[in-house]
Amino acid sequence: MNEMAYLVNDIIRHFDIEFETSPYGNGHINDTYITGCKPRYILQRINSNVFKNPPAVMENIAKVCDFLREKIKAEGGDPDRETLTLMRTVEGKDYHKENEQDYFRVYKFIEDSISLDTPENTDQFYNAALAFGKFQRLLSDFPASELHETIKDFHHTPKRFEALEAAIEADVCGRRASVEKEIEFARAHKDMCSLIINGIEDGSIPLRVTHNDTKLNNVMLDAETGKGLCVIDLDTVMPGSLLYDFGDAIRAGANTAAEDEKDLDLVGLNVDMFEAFARGFCEELGESFTEREIELLATSAIILTFECGIRFLTDYLSGDTYFKIHRPEHNLDRARDQFKLVYDMEQKLDEMNAIVRKVLGR
């Protein structure tokens, strides 16, 4: 991306925007820039190594945003603040293709809003849960079959486990000997991988339009009220299970430590955060849950945390080709953190299930 950096101010002019840009945010996947003058805009270079078909990604985003705008207007909301607004190029397209691998898009920046990597209090996490729940509720009658699968088998946990086993066998970087403890932990948890997939296949877990990457920083919060405004980062919106969205949100937001914390004694589940998110999510979606979804709601946090852990471990064994890293063992630190969180959640699962029943009035 170094040789691309000097081009971004020329790229944004394809969207009839003349403002200078500077790097923005700390996302793992795409390269993001913001313009310096109001009205501000977000320019992103789509990572085509991760998203193999950027036009399909953009088709999904355009369809979902257009659908959400109409739903939000029908409910008396403000679509300019409550969903993403794509800017078209001077040719009227949703993205600009610079060459065979560099695709760019521009959104209006949502002013007077904030984004947080981790919740500072339970109210913030509750408001994020309301936003994610509302996102799914508004899309409940969107025809999921119209959406592309932007990353094949993204939350197919059994296939993620197969990828781990392949990376262990290949050991392309000679790192296997140093992670035998982590490999043993992963293999001991193999049986949980199929719980959600089996439910989708037998129909007890309905296929829905889901976000699939529900980190707290993918919700913009109103800077004054703290209320959830807009769900962002829609690259992975595709058919899935609401358990993916719930579980991944808990994984990312209810950890007592950072995702890459080296001191594992600091890592665990914040039960108060879990309850806050469960309360907000269920307030928006409680009536639509199936019995099997209710049974697995708390467990989904363990499954999605485990899945993320084996993805980090796979990437470490494979030479750190997927996630951006900032130190040599960054992905290994992330994997260990996730596995410690899995362990702590397992100790608290009965309490988590009791909370789910309480917020659903069961």
pLDDT tens across 308-323, in order? 999 999 999 999 988 8
C-alpha–C-alpha distance, residues 350 and 358, integer Å: 12
Is 27's pLDDT higher than 70? no
Is 160's pLDDT higher than 80? yes
Give residue 47's pLDDT: 87
Residue type, 136: Q
* Structural domain boundaries in the chain: 2-111, 122-360
Give residue 1's pLDDT: 42
Helix (H) or strand (E) run with residue 222 in it: strand 219-222
Say what the alpha-carbon torsion angle 186, 191, 197, 200 is, to the nearest 10 degrees.
-150
C-alpha–C-alpha distance, residues 18 and 11, integer Å: 10
CATH H-level superfamily of 2-111 = Phosphorylase Kinase; domain 1 (3.30.200.20)
Is 140's pLDDT higher than 50? yes
User: First-to-last CA distance in the chain?
Assistant: 52
pLDDT tens digits for range 41-93: 999 999 888 899 999 999 999 999 999 999 999 999 999 999 999 999 999 99
CATH numeric code, 122-360 = 3.90.1200.10
C-alpha–C-alpha distance, residues 210 and 139, integer Å: 8
